[in-house]
């Protein structure tokens, strides 16, 4: 856990709460909370204890058992939900593979997962029931954003055909004009990427403040790399498309008009 406030659990009846969830309910280290009639004391706040839809609360196994036994829950629910995950902290120098094999050999009914594997499982589960809809929405938004950048640069270049014709009449080569458009496109797309990333981070922070149960991470490396490669290419293409019209322009028509 990455604690942002307070300390780790050291005493009975203590819990560590996700920081966003604690902020929503006004909790701080030292506060008392009650769940199903069982009292806990918040020992600390964790900044990384959540997945896309579920913030986590950490508690000692003995306290969890007491909670289920003391809470007003159906007996079958108590038996089924007695334990879902047990956090195991390795000693310094211990080998993960060796510890995993020893646990699974000693307790065949359990499976051992690393945090990365649990995160990958969460992704698979979410994609299973929301993947198609989310991919469609993200794809439409992604294509729309790229087209807006490309059309904006295309419109900008098309509106300057007279200017390019004058430059051509004064001896500017087509390659030089293309280089000017490419430079402009790269500057515009770089600014657009920076502004877009900043706005996405601000929006994610607002969502995290209003609805901490939803974890939004807009600046994923894979998404950033894909966008950083795609947007400049489309922007440059949009800027260079009018060059075909520039190549066919007769400079005399510009001075004649």
Among 96, 112, 128, the domain-final residue is 112
Q: How many domains does the chain have?
A: 2
152's enclosing H/E stretch is helix 115-158
Q: Are residues 18 and 66 in the same domain?
A: yes
Among 112, 133, 165, the domain-final residue is 112
Q: Are residues 204 and 235 in the same domain?
A: yes
Q: How far apart are CA 6 and CA 57, in angstroms?
A: 14
Q: Are residues 70 and 94 in the same domain?
A: yes
Q: How far apart are CA 82 and CA 75, in angstroms?
A: 10
Residue whose token pair is 């390019």 = 164
Residue 95 Cα distances to 86, 90, 99, 118, angstroms: 18, 8, 6, 19
Among 65, 84, 112, the domain-final residue is 112
Q: Are residues 73 and 124 in the same domain?
A: no
Q: Are residues 137 and 251 in the same domain?
A: yes
Q: Are residues 130 and 197 in the same domain?
A: yes
Q: Are residues 88 and 134 in the same domain?
A: no
pLDDT value of residue 249: 64
Q: Are residues 127 and 214 in the same domain?
A: yes
Range of the domain at 132: 118-256
pLDDT value of residue 39: 83
Angle at 17 between CA 16 and CA 20, to 5 degrees: 150
Q: Does the global pTM surpass 0.75?
A: no
**42 CB neighbour count, 10 Å cutoff:** 20
Residue 80 Cα distances to 55, 73, 74, 84, 109, angstroms: 21, 11, 10, 9, 14
Q: Are residues 84 and 135 in the same domain?
A: no
Q: What's the pLDDT tens digit per position in 153-181?
A: 777 777 777 777 777 777 777 777 778 77
Highest mean pLDDT among 27-31, 86-90, 115-119, 175-179: 27-31
Return the structure tokens found at 17.
């709460």
């Amino acid at each position: 856990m990455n604690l942002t406030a307070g300390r780790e659990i050291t005493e009975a009846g203590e819990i560590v709460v996700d920081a966003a969830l604690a902020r929503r309910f006004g909790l701080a280290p030292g506060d008392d909370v009650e769940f199903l009639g069982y009292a806990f004391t918040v020992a600390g706040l964790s900044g990384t204890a959540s997945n896309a839809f579920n913030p986590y609360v950490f508690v000692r196994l003995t306290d969890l058992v007491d909670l289920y036994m003391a809470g007003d829950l159906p007996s079958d629910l108590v038996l089924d939900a007695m334990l879902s995950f047990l956090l195991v902290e390795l000693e310094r120098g211990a080998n993960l593979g060796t510890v995993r094999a020893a646990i699974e050999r000693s307790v065949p009914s359990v499976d051992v997962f690393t945090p990365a594997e649990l995160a990958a499982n969460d992704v698979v589960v979410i994609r299973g029931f929301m993947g198609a809809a989310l991919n469609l929405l993200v794809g439409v938004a992604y294509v729309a954003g790229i087209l807006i950048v490309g059309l904006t640069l295309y419109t900008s270049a098309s509106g300057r055909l007279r200017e390019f014709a004058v430059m051509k009449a004064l001896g500017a080569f087509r390659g030089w004009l293309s280089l000017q458009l490419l430079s402009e496109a790269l500057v515009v797309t770089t600014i657009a990427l920076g502004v877009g990333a900043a706005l996405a981070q601000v929006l994610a922070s607002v969502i995290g403040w209003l609805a901490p149960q939803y974890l939004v991470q807009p600046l994923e490396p894979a998404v950033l790399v894909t966008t950083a490669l795609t947007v400049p290419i489309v922007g440059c293409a949009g800027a260079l498309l009018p060059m075909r019209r520039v190549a066919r322009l007769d400079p005399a028509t510009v001075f004649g008009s």
